[in-house]
Amino acid sequence: MSSAPLEARFGMMELNNWTIFSLLDREFAAQIRLACVFGNLGNEALLVTRDDEVFALGSNGAGCLGQGDMHSSLQPKQIEPLCYKKVVGFAYGSGPHVLAYTESGELYSWGHNGYCQLGNGSTNQGLSPTLIQNSLTGRKVVSVACGSHHSMCLTSDGDIFSWGQNNCGQIGSGSTTNQSTPRKVSAPFNGRKVIAVTCGQTSSMAVLENGEVYGWGYNGNGQLGLGNNINQLTPCRVTALQGIVITSVVCGYAHTLAVSDEGALYAWGANSYGQLGTGNKANSCTPIKVGDDLGRIVEVAATHYNHISAAITQDSRCYMWGQCRGQSVVGPTETPFTSLHDVFACFATPSVTYIPMETEVTSGPSVHDSLRMAFDDSTTSDVQFLVDNKNIHAHKAVLKIRCEHFRSMFQEHWEEGSIEGCIDIRHFTYPVYRAFLKYLYTDEVDLPPEDAIGLLDLANSYCEQQLKRRCERIIKQGITVENVAMLYATAIKYQAKELEEFCFKFSLNHMTAVTQTEAFTKLDEGTVKDFIAKAAQSGAFKS
**pLDDT one-digit tens code per residue, 286-308:** 999 999 999 999 999 999 999 99
Residue 344 has pLDDT above 70, yes or no: yes
User: Looking at residue 5, what is its pLDDT?
Assistant: 29
370 φ, ψ to 5°?
-65, -40
For the segment 461-481, the average pLDDT, to the nearest whole number, is: 91
- What is the CB neighbour count within 10 angstroms for residue 400? 16
Q: CA-CA distance, 543 to 539, in Å (whole number)?
A: 9
For residues 266 and 288, the answer to whether their CB atoms sit within 8 Å is yes
Cβ neighbors of 536 (< 8 A, separation 6 or more) are none
Q: Which of 14-18, 110-114, 328-332 has the lowest mean pLDDT?
A: 14-18
Higher pLDDT, 415 or 328: 328
Cβ neighbors of 207 (< 8 A, separation 6 or more) are 194, 195, 196, 197, 213, 246, 247, 248, 249
For the stretch 288-297, contacts whose Cβ atoms lie closer than 8 Å and that sit 24 or more positions apart, written own/partner, are 289/264, 289/265, 290/265, 290/266, 290/332, 291/265, 291/319, 291/332, 294/265, 294/319, 294/332, 295/263, 296/262, 296/263, 296/477, 296/478, 297/259, 297/263, 297/264, 297/265
Q: Which residue ranges make up each domain of the chain? A: 367-537
For the segment 340-347, the average pLDDT, to the nearest whole number, is: 96
Residue 188 has pLDDT above 80, yes or no: yes
Q: Is 479 exposed, middle or buried (0-12, 13-18, 19+ CB in 10 A)?
A: buried
CATH architecture for segment(s) 367-537: 2-Layer Sandwich (3.30)
User: Looking at residue 134, what is its pLDDT?
Assistant: 84
Is residue 304 helix, strand or coil?
coil
How far, in Å, are 4, 37, 349, 412 from residue 353 at the CA level? 20, 5, 11, 54
User: Looking at residue 414, what is its pLDDT?
Assistant: 54
C-alpha atoms less than 13 angstroms from C-alpha of 190 in its C-beta half-sphere: 7
Give which of 435, 439, 447, 432 is closest to 368, Cα–Cα.
439
Q: Is 420 exposed, middle or buried (0-12, 13-18, 19+ CB in 10 A)?
A: exposed
For the segment 320-329, the average pLDDT, to the nearest whole number, is: 97
User: Looking at residue 6, what is its pLDDT?
Assistant: 29
User: How is the chain split among helix, strand and coil, in percent rounded to 5?
Assistant: 25, 30, 45
Beta pairing class for 418-419 and 390-394: unpaired
Cβ neighbors of 159 (< 8 A, separation 6 or more) are 139, 184, 185, 193, 194
Share of the chain above pLDDT 90, in %: 83
Beta bridge partners of 57: 45
Helix H or strand E encompassing 536 = helix 525-537
**pLDDT one-digit tens code per residue, 143-185:** 999 999 999 999 999 999 999 999 999 999 999 999 999 999 9
Q: Is 26 exposed, middle or buried (0-12, 13-18, 19+ CB in 10 A)?
A: exposed
For the segment 253-258, the average pLDDT, to the nearest whole number, is: 98
For residues 67 and 80, the answer to whether their CB atoms sit within 8 Å is no
Helix H or strand E encompassing 299 = strand 297-301
Per-residue DSSP letter, 192: P
What's the pLDDT band for 346 if we cut at 50, 70, 90?
A: very high
For residues 535 and 541, the answer to whether their CB atoms sit within 8 Å is yes
User: Looking at residue 2, what is its pLDDT?
Assistant: 29
Share the mean pLDDT of the chain: 92
User: Looking at residue 364, what is its pLDDT?
Assistant: 58
Q: CA-CA distance, 447 to 453, in Å (whole number)?
A: 10
**pLDDT one-digit tens code per residue, 421-463:** 689 999 899 999 999 999 999 999 988 887 898 999 999 999 9
Residue 536 has pLDDT above 50, yes or no: yes
**pLDDT one-digit tens code per residue, 221-245:** 999 999 999 999 999 999 999 999 9
Q: CA-CA distance, 304 to 463, in Å (whole number)?
A: 46
**pLDDT one-digit tens code per residue, 354-398:** 999 987 545 556 787 889 999 999 999 999 999 999 999 999 999
100 φ, ψ to 5°?
-140, 140
User: Looking at residue 26, what is its pLDDT?
Assistant: 84
What's the pLDDT band for 45 if we cut at 50, 70, 90?
A: very high
For residues 39 and 64, the answer to whether their CB atoms sit within 8 Å is yes
pTM, entire model: 0.81
Q: Which of 309-318, 340-349, 495-504 has the lowest mean pLDDT?
A: 495-504
User: Looking at residue 494, what is its pLDDT?
Assistant: 85
Beta bridge partners of 392: 385
C-alpha atoms less than 13 angstroms from C-alpha of 120 in its C-beta half-sphere: 22
Side chain identity at 394, as an amino acid letter? A
